[in-house]
Amino acid sequence: MSFLNNVITGISLGSIYAIIALGYTMVYGIAKMLNFAHGDVIMVGAYVCFFATGSFGLHPVAGVLLAMVVCTILGMVIEGLAYKPLRQAPSLAVLITAIGVSWFLQNSAQLLWGAAPKVFTPVVSGGLSIFGGQLNISYVTILTVASCLVIMAVLSAFIGKGKMGKAMRACSEDKGAAQLMGINVNSTISMTFAIGSALAAIAGVLMCSAYPTLMPTTGSLPGIKAFTAAVFGGIGSVPGAFVGGLLLGIIEIFAKAYISTDLSDAIVFLALIIVLLVKPSGLLGKYVPEKV
Amino acid sequence: MKKFIAMLMAAAMMMAMVACGNTASNNGGNNGSNNSGSADEGGSTDGTVVIRIGGIGPLTGGNAVYGVATQLGAQVAVDEINALGGPIQFEYNFQDDTGVAETAVSAYNTLKDWEADIIYGCTTTAPCVTVAAETFADRYFQLTPSASSTDVTEGKDNVFQMCFTDPNQGVTAADYISANSLGTKIGVIYNNGDAYSTGIAEAFIAHAAEIGLEVVATETYPSDSNTDYNVQLNACKDAGADLVFLPIYYTPASLILAQASAMGYAPTFFGADGMDGILTMEGFDASLAEGLMLMTPFNADATDDATVNFVESYKKLSGDVIPNQFAADGYDCIYAIYAALQNIDGLADMDHEALCEALIAAFTAEDFSVDGLTGSGMSWSTNGEISKDPVVVVIQDGAYVTM
Amino acid sequence: MTAMKQARRLRKATVNSFINYAIVIVAFIILQILLGQDMISNSIQSMLVPVCCYIVMAVSLNLTVGILGELSLGHAGFMSLGAFSGIIVSTALKDVVEAEPLRLLLAMLVGAVMGGIGGVIVGLPVLRLRGDYLAIVTLAFGEIIKNVIMVLYVGIDGDGLHMATKEANLTLAEDGIAIIKGPMGAVGVTKIASFTAGFILILVTLFVVQNLVDSRAGRAILSLRDNRIAAESCGINVTKYKLMAFVVSAVLAGAAGALYGLNYSSTVASKFDFNTSILVLVYVVLGGLGSIRGSIIAAAILTMLPEMSFMRSSSLKDYRMLLYAVILILVMLASNNPVLRNAFGSVSKKFKSSKKQEGGAAQ
């Protein structure tokens, strides 16, 4: 029974990593940049929802929608001011700018909302008890997994079909060629960021519903873990992010439960290294042959 | 080459800002004191002595909440003392160390450049150990509100603590649990990436073994940004622990309480002084903390005048945040320094080295004791450790009840 | 006359290298004079050694990122290895080697060796990967090193070194001292690092990196960055040269770590985390990929920037880290802005050509 309990704990932690990783991997897949500020957009989304439901007494659903709107706008502003001017620059320059944006968001959040941690009110509470209360699955976990599946389905449909999706795939393959075909690469990438930031808002709300402390640094560690999860599953692959996130959560919990709580982080990263050595492009990543 | 020129640009921009910054910093100390020009030790004509207190603590990063509390708690005391208009006036400058030793050293040196007389801080242990070695070599008197490791004071006669030491807390907790038979099987969950938490936990476990308290589970987590504690709680539950000792800060503790409640595990939880503040978290469901015991020297709900006044002034400064024991310890630090300064003759002629020796003598004097928010009759031993009575409180109906 | 001819024959790269040495030496001399005159504030003085360490870190990371062309996010891990092994050596040899500079040298050598061993262990498997996958694995190794040191207890007594993963398991004889105490890190370290040592370490780093880049091996490494497949088909041993660059970089980071660790009385493992690796990467990218001089200048300025007196003044100190982030973004945007770049480019070209004309006229 404790094994099953650990599996459930692993899934609930993993689903949080997965939903963050979905946003990461989508932006990476299309814009080909590691958006290190993604974790901090998540933090902003959670704060917006916290104040909307707490201080203004909005319904949680309205809170989530408001968070999505605010994060989408924030994402587009960040993209327009900080990333767009660097379209022609080397990818590392964009990476460093993203780190700057991440620090900026963290410090602004502290100045705006203070350093004191806030306790987030979960959008759903309670849980499902099975086997006479021996196993508990919280509704947040169920909601998170369900959201992941819905987001995956919608993203796959959106990217797979439709004009915008086609444009995104084209940009992902070859920006120059896409431009020659009459695709507006700039607005396509901006659109990607908008969607990624809206996903971040959902992830933020769900993450803080599951683990309800909220402070300016809330997003940074889950951000790194989710980035790891995205690479684990094959960065750029939407289903890969989901699988990677879940597996990472389960490995982390198992390492803590059966090996050592002291070294759990080391074990998680060791597992990641082993997977990447066996499968250098992640679990579900596509192998792209290099051409001269 | 282009990059190089860009860097030069950056440098030029910086220089320009240095210039602006200097004019800005000439506008005086932190608390609006207008005598920064004559602030250097020398007594002014009316016989007042201005003492510069330099504070260090994390104002940004993950530990900012504790640093801000110690910063503002001391600020309340400084403002009060200056408003008295007595012969001793304080100037106060608190610098950010982001919780990192390297930054703490440069913050300390910034304060040296500001010609600080006394160092107040650091808030967290690891930076404090590093800065304490520096103040020991440079002979500055240092009083920390909250860095509780024995490494902070060990071998340094100039460093004093306002909080209990970690081993002291661990031993006190074990004795208290055993004396009141609060639990028979004890689980411990602590942060093994943190010196404070590890220090208390190790002392607790060692002392528990000596006095025959059975520790059935010892669980750790790597940092306070950890979010999932189900494994640790399950291990305690499976081992049959009926009391879980949590020598950790309140931010992770709030998650532990919530997750224990979600899994239907309800042992007695027992915390150390880092637990104080849990009820002040915005949005925290106080019913989760029902029955939680903690050792805290400070209770923001207390009705004595001193506490009521402090809480009111603190809320004004902090934008309605309720002070925790970090803030109260900070407040007491300033008053302890103030009390000690009053016992020193010839303050006006002292540089920081002479002041350091005089303050060491004053703090360790036989008859020196301070009544503050966090204890009455507080006194210090020559190794810098404080002696005050530990108070255990239990949370009932969302408020502290002294046991 | 022959000397002048020879000098003219010096290749551009060599001239560039000498300019770098000159910058470092001149900066050192100026700082020494100012220090002698007591004209430098305490806060700047306390930054001198860490700045040296970060310069070495940035130059060595530039070897991996800028010259080899592989993104590494775990450089602080090697610094950590160097710092803690350096501290152990220095503490263990306290009574054996009395002279502090010699002990510092030994500590830095051991730190470098440990960094190098770490580099080989990480590099051999990792360098098979590419791009972002390589980046995440280096990040993973950095975190593993941090995590392991965080639970490590090391002590020394008459019988030699002892290690354990729990404090209770570390049994030392009466005269023994615990050097590393898990999360508490190393406490009570005798500070023996000096600015002069940092200066020498920078010179050694420049010597190693510049000569490596300017050698046969260096050209092989550069060819790997520009086109791995083409280089491989020309018979260049990919693993060998990649590993060479990676390990040299780790060795230098280890030495810098030892110097850093011995500059403070206590050091914790959590200092050398992902954020420190990122910080060094910021110096490298901001200074310009592959530009040694850029790394030196960026590391020096960006390390000092948040500690400058204006940043800590009462009006700005609340916005210190916010301002730092804004400056970082603005500099990044400005240095990659095509309009600004062209403007600077034409200025520097004019500058160069006018200098050449002057040179010609003088002859």
- Residue-wise pLDDT tens digits, B181-221: 898 999 999 998 888 898 899 899 999 999 989 999 999 88
Instruction: Tell me how far apart the alpha carbons of residues B83 and C188 are, in angstroms, rounded to a whole number.
Output: 41
Closest partner residue to B231 among A54, A222, A253, by Cβ? A253
- B192 in Cβ contact with A234 (< 8 Å): no
Closest partner residue to C140 among A34, A263, A272, by Cβ? A272
Q: What is the mean pLDDT of chain B?
A: 85
Question: What is the distance in angstroms between the Cα of A93 and the nearest Cα belonging to chain B?
Answer: 12
Query: Is the model more confident about B336 or about C346?
Result: B336
Which residues from A are below 8 Å from B321, CB to CB? 114, 116
CATH of segment(s) B43-164+308-387:
3.40.50.2300
Q: Provide residues of A within 8 Å CB-CB of chain C.
A: 28, 34, 82, 85-86, 88-90, 92-93, 95-97, 99-101, 103-104, 107-108, 111, 224, 227-228, 231, 235, 262-263, 265-266, 269-270, 272-273, 276-277, 280-282, 290-292
B156: left (phi over 0), alpha (psi -120 to 50) or beta: beta
Closest partner residue to A265 among B62, B222, B284, by Cβ? B222
Q: What angle do CA B192, A258, B248 make, to 5 degrees?
A: 25
- Determine whether C31 is exposed, middle or buried from the number of CB atoms within 10 Å of its CB (0-12, 13-18, 19+): middle
CB contact under 8 A, B21 and C308: yes
Instruction: Tell me how far apart the alpha carbons of residues C138 and C75 are, in angstroms, rounded to a whole number.
Output: 8
Map tokens 């007695």 to a residue.
B268
Mutate to test the interface with C, among B109, B188, B191 (most CBs of C within 10 A): B109
Which residues from A are below 8 Å from B238, CB to CB? 2
Closest partner residue to C310 among B9, B22, B29, by Cβ? B22
pLDDT tens by residue, B303-334:
889 999 999 999 999 888 889 889 999 999 99
Instruction: Tell me how far apart the alpha carbons of residues C66 and C88 are, in angstroms, rounded to a whole number.
Output: 32
Question: What is the distance in angstroms between the Cα of B256 and the nearest Cα belonging to chain A?
Answer: 10
Question: What is the distance in angstroms between the Cα of B251 and the nearest Cα belonging to chain A?
Answer: 7
- Determine whether A51 is exposed, middle or buried from the number of CB atoms within 10 Å of its CB (0-12, 13-18, 19+): middle
Max CA pair span of chain C: 77
- Determine whether B46 is exposed, middle or buried from the number of CB atoms within 10 Å of its CB (0-12, 13-18, 19+): exposed
- C-alpha distance from residue C110 to each of C88, C117, C197, C264, C349 (Å): 10, 10, 15, 18, 45
**In degrees rounded to 5, what are phi and psi of residue C267?**
-140, 135
CB contact under 8 A, B113 and C334: no
- C188 in Cβ contact with C6 (< 8 Å): no
The amino acid present at A151, given as its one-letter code, is I
Instruction: Name subunits touching B (3+ CB pairs < 8 A).
Output: A, C
- What ipTM was assigned to the predicted interfaces of this complex? 0.88
User: Is the backbone peptide bond immediately before C234 cis, with ω within 30 degrees of 0?
Assistant: no
pLDDT level of residue C349 (50, 70, 90 thresholds): low
pLDDT tens by residue, B39-76:
444 444 567 899 999 999 999 888 888 999 999 999 99
Which fold would CATH assign to domain A2-115+125-278? Answer: ABC transporter involved in vitamin B12 uptake, BtuC (1.10.3470)
- B319 in Cβ contact with B354 (< 8 Å): no
Structural domain contains residue C329: no
- A78 in Cβ contact with C303 (< 8 Å): no
- C-alpha distance from residue C208 to each of C110, C146, C237, C244 (Å): 17, 27, 21, 12
Locate the chain B residue with the closest alpha carbon to C271: B100
Cα-Cα-Cα-Cα dihedral sign, residues C234, C237, C242, C245:
negative
CB contact under 8 A, C310 and B96: no
Range A164-182 average pLDDT:
88
Question: What is the distance in angstroms between the Cα of C248 and the nearest Cα belonging to chain B?
Answer: 25
pLDDT at residue C98 above 90? no
Instruction: Name subunits touching A (3+ CB pairs < 8 A).
Output: B, C
Tokens describing residue B250: 């309140």
Please report, for the domain that includes residue C145, its CATH number.
Answer: 1.10.3470
Locate the chain B residue with the closest alpha carbon to A255: B231
Residue B32, pLDDT score: 37
* Cα Rg of chain A, angstroms: 19
Number of CB atoms found within 10 A of residue C327's CB: 20
pLDDT tens by residue, C125-168:
888 887 778 888 899 999 999 989 988 889 888 778 888 877 77
Locate the chain C residue with the closest alpha carbon to A91: C285
CB contact under 8 A, C133 and A280: yes
Question: What is the distance in angstroms between the Cα of C257 and the nearest Cα belonging to chain B?
Answer: 13
Q: For residue B179, what are the contacts with CB-CB under 8 A and spacing of at least 6?
A: none
Coil/strand/helix, residue B33: coil
Q: What is the mean pLDDT of chain A?
A: 88
Structural domain contains residue C352: no
Domain with C151, as residue range(s), is 2-308
- B204 in Cβ contact with B259 (< 8 Å): no
pLDDT at residue B25 above 70? no
Which residues from B are below 8 Å from C273, CB to CB? none
Q: What is the DSSP string of B180-248?
A: TT--SEEEEEEETT-HHHHHHHHHHHHHHHHHT-EEEEEEEES-TT----HHHHHHHHHTT-SEEEE-S
Q: Which of A32-46, A151-165, B30-44, C167-181 has the lowest mean pLDDT?
A: B30-44
| Among C188, C123, C174, C182, residue whose Cα is nearest residue C150 | C182
Residues of chain B with CATH 3.40.50.2300: 43-164+308-387, 167-296
Structural domain contains residue C86: yes
Chain C segment 239-258 residues within 8 A of B by beta carbon are none
Q: For residue C227, what are the contacts with CB-CB under 8 A and spacing of at least 6?
A: A292
| Counted domains in chain C | 1
CB contact under 8 A, A276 and C325: no
Mutate to test the interface with C, among B63, B110, B166 (most CBs of C within 10 A): B110
| Among B89, B55, B54, residue whose Cα is nearest residue B71 | B55
Closest partner residue to A110 among B64, B227, B263, by Cβ? B64
pLDDT at residue C78 above 50? yes
Mutate to test the interface with A, among B65, B70, B282 (most CBs of A within 10 A): B282
Locate the chain A residue with the closest alpha carbon to B321: A116
pLDDT level of residue C356 (50, 70, 90 thresholds): very low
- A42 in Cβ contact with A200 (< 8 Å): yes
- C-alpha distance from residue A164 to each of A157, A237, B153 (Å): 11, 18, 64
Q: Evaluate if pTM is beyond 0.95.
A: no
Tokens describing residue A24: 């990461």
Instruction: Tell me how far apart the alpha carbons of residues B36 and B33 are, in angstroms, rounded to a whole number.
Output: 7
Q: Which CATH architecture has domain B167-296?
A: 3-Layer(aba) Sandwich (3.40)
Tokens describing residue C187: 């406490």
| Among C245, C251, C253, residue whose Cα is nearest residue C117 | C251
pLDDT at residue B361 above 50? yes
